[in-house]
C-alpha cells in the first residue's frame, strides 16, 4: 500500500485542492510544520503563509490566508479564508492588493473589526510576493 494521505484545502467559497499526497508543510500559528502520513491528530490555527505540497523535486506551492488545519493520520484538512496556487499569482495585482490593504490599515486602531482582516490580507499578499521572488531567483 502506497503510504499517502488525503489533503483537502477548503475555503468558504470552494474546495480548492483535494488529492492524495505524500508530504505537506503548513504555516501554523506557532511555526511551520511538516506533515507526513500517519501524523498524530493535531488541530492548529494557520496563519498566512506558504503551503508546500509534495517533496522538493515536484513540489506544488500554495499561499493560504489564515484559518485552521485538522491533521488526522490519513487525512489533512486546511480550512482557510483564501488560497491561491503559485501559478495563479499575479504580481502586479498582489502588489495592488497589498498597497490598498496597508493603506487602509495605516492609522486604524487594532480593536477595529476590520483590523485583523486587513492585516491578514497584507500578510497574505506579502507571502505571495515573497513566493514570486523566490521563484524568480531560481
Partner 1 sequence: MPSLKQLRLRIRSVSSTKQITKAMKMVAAAKLRRSQERATAARPYSQRMGRMMRSVATIMDGQQGSPPLLSGYGDDVRRIELVVLTADRGLCGSFNSGVVRAVRNRVVELQREGFAVTLTCVGRKGQDVLKRQFGAQIRKTHTGIAHRLTFHTVEREIAQELVQAFEDRQFEVCYLVYNTFKSAMSQVLTWQQIMPLPNDAAQKNQDGPRGSGSAAASAAHETAAASEGKKKGGGRHHAVQSGGSGQGWSQGGGGEAALLQSMNRQAAAVEEEESGSTSYFFEPDEGELLNALLPRNVAVQLFQALVESDASEHGARMTAMDNAVRNASEMIRKLRIKFNRTRQAAITTELMEIIGGAESLKG
Q: Which stretches of the chain bind partner 1, using CB under 8 A?
A: 8, 10-15, 28-30, 40-45, 68, 70, 72, 75, 77, 79, 81, 113-114, 117
Kindly state the smallest distance separating residue 128's Cβ from partner 1, in Å: 18
Nearer to partner 1, 79 or 132 (CB): 79
As a whole number of angstroms, the distance between CA 22 and CA 44 comes to: 20
- Of residues 75 and 103, the one with the C-beta less far from partner 1: 75
Q: How far is the CB of 83 from partner 1 (least distance, A)?
A: 11
d(CA 63, CA 24): 13
Nearer to partner 1, 14 or 138 (CB): 14
Place of cell 482582516: 117
Minimum CB distance to partner 1, residue 71 (Å): 8
Residue 72 or 132: the one with the smaller Cβ distance to partner 1 is 72
CB of 7 to partner 1, least distance (A): 12
17-48 per-residue burial string, b: 16 or more CB within 10 A, e: under 16: beeebebbbbbbeeeeeebeeebeeeebebbb
* Non-local CB neighbours of 75 within 8 Å, separated by 6+ positions: 5, 6, 7, 8
Amino acid at each position: 500500500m502506497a503510504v499517502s494521505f488525503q489533503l483537502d484545502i477548503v475555503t468558504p467559497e470552494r474546495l480548492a485542492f483535494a488529492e492524495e499526497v505524500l508530504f505537506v508543510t503548513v504555516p501554523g500559528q506557532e511555526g511551520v510544520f511538516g506533515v507526513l502520513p500517519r501524523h498524530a491528530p493535531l488541530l492548529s490555527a494557520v496563519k498566512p503563509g506558504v503551503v508546500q505540497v509534495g517533496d522538493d523535486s515536484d513540489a506544488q506551492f500554495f499561499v493560504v490566508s489564515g484559518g485552521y488545519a485538522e491533521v488526522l493520520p490519513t487525512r489533512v484538512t486546511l480550512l482557510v479564508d483564501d488560497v491561491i496556487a503559485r501559478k495563479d499569482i499575479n504580481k502586479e495585482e498582489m502588489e495592488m492588493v497589498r498597497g490598498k490593504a496597508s493603506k487602509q490599515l495605516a492609522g486604524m486602531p487594532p480593536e477595529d473589526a476590520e483590523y485583523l482582516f486587513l492585516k491578514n490580507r497584507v500578510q497574505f499578499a506579502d507571502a505571495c510576493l515573497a513566493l514570486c521572488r523566490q521563484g524568480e531567483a531560481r
